[in-house]
Amino acid sequence: MATLLRKIGLIRLHNRDTEDPKHHHNHRGGGGGQQSASLRGKGGAKSGGHKQQQQQQQQQQHPGGAGDSSPGPGKGKGKRAAELAPRDKPPQPAAGAAGAAGAGGPRERAAGARAGPGPAVAAAAAAGGSLVPAGRQQHCTQVRSRRLMKELQDIARLSDRFISVELVDESLFDWNVKLHQVDKDSVLWQDMKETNTEFILLNLTFPDNFPFSPPFMRVLSPRLENGYVLDGGAICMELLTPRGWSSAYTVEAVMRQFAASLVKGQGRICRKAGKSKKSFSRKEAEATFKSLVKTHEKYGWVTPPVSDG
pLDDT tens column, 7-45: 565 555 555 555 554 544 444 444 444 444 444 544 544
Q: What letter does residue 228 receive in the DSSP assignment?
A: T
Q: Which pTM was predicted?
A: 0.55
pLDDT of residue 302: 60
Strand locations in the chain, DSSP E? 163-167, 174-179, 200-205, 216-221, 224-225, 268-269
Domain range summary for the chain, segments of one domain joined by +: 135-271+278-298
Q: Out of 177, 236, 262, 285, which one is annotated catalytic? A: 236
3-state secondary structure 41-79: HHHHHHHHHHHHHHHHHHHHHCHHHCCCCCCCCCHHHHH
Contacts of 174 (CB under 8 A, 6+ apart): 167, 168, 203, 204, 205, 206
- CA atoms of 282 and 194, how far apart (whole Å): 27
- Strands 268-269 and 200-205 turn out to be unpaired
Architecture of domain 135-271+278-298 in this structure: Roll (3.10)
pLDDT of residue 49: 53
Residue 275: strand, helix, or coil: coil
pLDDT tens column, 76-128: 444 454 454 544 444 454 444 444 444 445 454 444 444 444 444 444 444 44
pLDDT of residue 101: 41
- CA atoms of 26 and 32, how far apart (whole Å): 10
169 Rama class: left (phi>0) / alpha (psi -120 to 50) / beta: left
| Residue 2, pLDDT above cutoff 50 | yes
Length of the chain: 309
Residue 278: strand, helix, or coil: coil
Q: What letter does residue 291 receive in the DSSP assignment?
A: H
pLDDT tens column, 157-209: 998 889 999 999 999 999 999 999 999 999 999 999 999 999 999 999 999 99
pLDDT of residue 89: 47
pLDDT of residue 137: 79
pLDDT of residue 138: 83
* Known catalytic residue at 270: no
- CA atoms of 217 and 176, how far apart (whole Å): 10
- Strands 174-179 and 200-205 turn out to be antiparallel
- Strands 174-179 and 163-167 turn out to be antiparallel
Quick one: CA torsion of 156, 158, 164, 170, rounded to 10 degrees? -20
- CA atoms of 270 and 260, how far apart (whole Å): 19
Contacts of 178 (CB under 8 A, 6+ apart): 163, 164, 165, 166, 199, 200, 201, 202
Mean pLDDT of the chain: 73
